[in-house]
Amino acid sequence: MGFFERLKQGLTKTKQGFVEKVESIFQGKPIDSETLEELEETLILADIGAINASEVVDHLREKARKGELGESGSVKEFLKKELSSLIGAGQKLVPYGEKPFVILAVGVNGVGKTTTIGKLASRFRDQGYSVLLAAGDTFRAAAIEQLEIWGERSNAQVVKHQSGSDPSAVVFDAIEAARARGTDIVIIDTAGRLHTKSPLMEELKKIRRVCDKALPGAPHEVLLVVDATNGQNALKQAEIFNETVGVTAIALTKLDGTAKGGIVFAIKKELNIPVKLIGVGEGVDDLQDFEPQDFVKALFD
């Protein structure tokens, strides 16, 4: 099965809770205040975001008023165009500049951060890059072991210290090692204790400073891993991590297990941080570049 087919399959729950619901709202009914209110509620429940939902409904109301929507069946086509416009063009996670290219991966526990790092390492190795993984989550011994397993699977080097040691020291050593070995890419794993605990955020700020000290300009990408099943909570996490470390890209995992795939639109609208990677399954190949127009197509087709 190609990735687009897997994406379509992965978005089944979102499609059922959103596109199919929209179709039933306007089935044989006019576009009026009642159906528009129902549409807005459906958009919000799909986690598209209240601002987006309100704007989409306002545009639809205006088009209906001007008589630009002859058949209620054209509402689906209108929504497809509207959401395509909302989401814009895609951006890819591509290494640039002098090596090593440093990616700082952040996110709360349980979102699939270490797994995403492992899949990303495999992907870069397949593209011919050398990769070094930094075990910066020294808070959980299991996180270090998990990263080592991914290192073996993806044939990536791993730099680690003992469990409980200073994460910044691991990060500094990893970047130094990558520079000495001529490694192309460094991906840093970090602790993900609840984002509401300020010591974690202070730790992440320190790691960011240490990256720049070890290699001026690093990290080149701050990748926030969020779990799509968290819906609006994922948006809140993105806000907090962005305030702390300046998130430059988002990897949205577990899209195949949620009806809240609309969160992609809310992230774009409210934070304007590009979703660069999406995960729609457990396999290594299920982490892919986020292609916005394919995403909308998969939802509606």
Is residue 94 included in any domain, yes or no? no
**105: in domain:** yes
Residue 166: which CATH number? 3.40.50.300
pLDDT mean by block of 10 residues, the chain; 301 residues: 79 82 85 91 88 92 81 75 88 94 94 93 96 94 93 96 94 98 97 72 94 97 91 86 94 79 85 89 83 88 78
Regarding whether 123 and 179 lie in a shared domain, the answer is yes
**63 and 113 share one domain:** no
> ω before 100 within 30° of 0 (cis)?
yes
- Distance between alpha carbon 158 and the CA centroid of its chain, in Å? 24
Domain shared by 61 and 167, yes or no: no
Measured distance CA(159)–CA(153) in Å, rounded = 15
Is 96 contained in some domain?
A: no
What pLDDT was estimated at residue 242?
Answer: 93
- The residues near 32 (Cβ < 8 Å, ≥ 6 apart) are none
Encoded tokens for 176:
């130094």
CATH value at residue 30? 1.20.120.140
Q: Output the pLDDT for position 1.
A: 62
Question: Can you tell me the distance from the alpha carbon of 50 to that of 286, in angstroms, rounded to the nearest whole number?
Answer: 30
Verify that 44 and 188 share a domain, yes or no: no
Please state at what angle helix 167-181 crosses helix 198-214, rounded to 10 degrees. Answer: 20
Q: Are residues 25 and 164 in the same domain?
A: no
Number of domains in the chain: 2
Residue 93 lies in a domain: no
Per-residue pLDDT tens over the stretch 85-138: 888 888 999 999 989 999 999 999 888 899 999 999 999 999 999 999 999 999
Q: Which amino acid is at 87?
A: I
Task: State which of 57, 87, 117 marks the end of a domain.
Answer: 87
Domain containing 61 equals 3-87
Tell me, yes or no, whether 252 and 189 share the same domain.
Answer: yes
Looking at the fold, whether 116 and 8 belong to one and the same domain comes out as no
Domain end among 87, 119, 147: 87
Whether residue 155 lies inside any domain: the answer is yes
What does the pLDDT read at residue 72?
Answer: 47
C-alpha 254/C-alpha 112 separation (Å) is 8
Q: Are residues 152 and 209 in the same domain?
A: yes
- The answer to whether 167 touches 190, Cβ cutoff 8 Å, is yes
Asked whether residue 70 is assigned to any structural domain, the reply reads yes
Residue with the two structure tokens 């011994």: 141
Listed residues 53, 87, 121: the one ending a domain: 87
**Same-domain pairing of 208 and 172:** yes
In a domain, 92, yes or no: no
**The pLDDT value given to residue 231:** 79
3-state secondary structure of 157: strand
Task: Please tell me the predicted confidence (pLDDT) of residue 70.
Answer: 57
Contact 191, 139 (CB under 8 A): yes
For residues 81 and 153, state if they share a domain.
no
Same structural domain for residues 248 and 295?
yes
Of the candidates 219, 193, 225, the residue with the CA atom closest to the CA atom of residue 117: 225
- Is residue 95 one of the residues assigned to a domain? no
Query: 3-class SS at 277?
Result: strand
Q: What are the DSSP calls for 3-48, one per residue?
A: HHHHHHHHTHHHHHHTHHHHHHHSTT--SSHHHHHHHHHHHHHTTS
Q: Are residues 75 and 108 in the same domain?
A: no
pLDDT of residue 73: 52
Per-residue pLDDT of 75-88, as tens digits, reads 888 888 898 888 88
Indicate the DSSP class of residue 165: S
Nearest to 219 by CA among 192, 190, 251: 190
The closest of 250, 251, 296, 290 to 85, measured between CA atoms, is 296
pLDDT of residue 31: 86
Residues in the chain: 301
